[in-house]
């Protein structure tokens, strides 16, 4: 049988450890919440801007590829007028 003074000491020590762990867990949880929400508020708009910029770059690359493809199919044809460069009217 454990004497009452030893039981009281064990109970007080375990209660102190429990209280310290509970406080640490609550503090850590609140800190993680603040960091994660702050990170989301900064990173989500940044990532959306990066995706938009990537889409614009892809569209520009696609447009250049189309221009190069049309130049290969019909070399010398101007995109605006459709006239060949070598077929100018002579006076």
State pLDDT tens for residues 56-68: 999 999 999 888 8
Cα separation of 9 and 50, whole Å? 60
The number of beta carbons lying within 10 Å of the beta carbon of residue 68 is 10
- For residue 70, what are its two tokens? 């049309």
Q: How confident is the model at residue 35 (pLDDT cuts 50, 70, 90)?
A: very high
Residue the block writes with tokens 């960091």: 35
CA end-to-end span of the chain? 124
pTM flag (> 0.75):
no
SS3 content of the chain, % helix, strand, coil (to 5): 75, 0, 20
């Amino acid at each position: 049988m454990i004497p009452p003074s030893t039981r009281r000491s064990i109970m007080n020590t375990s209660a102190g450890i429990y209280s310290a762990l509970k406080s640490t867990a609550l503090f850590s949880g609140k800190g993680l919440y603040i960091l994660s929400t702050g990170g989301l508020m900064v990173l989500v708009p940044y990532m959306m801007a990066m995706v938009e910029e990537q889409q614009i770059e892809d569209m520009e690359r696609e447009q250049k590829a189309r221009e190069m493809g049309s130049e290969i199919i019909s070399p010398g044809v101007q995109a605006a007028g459709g006239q060949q460069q070598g077929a100018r009217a002579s006076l």
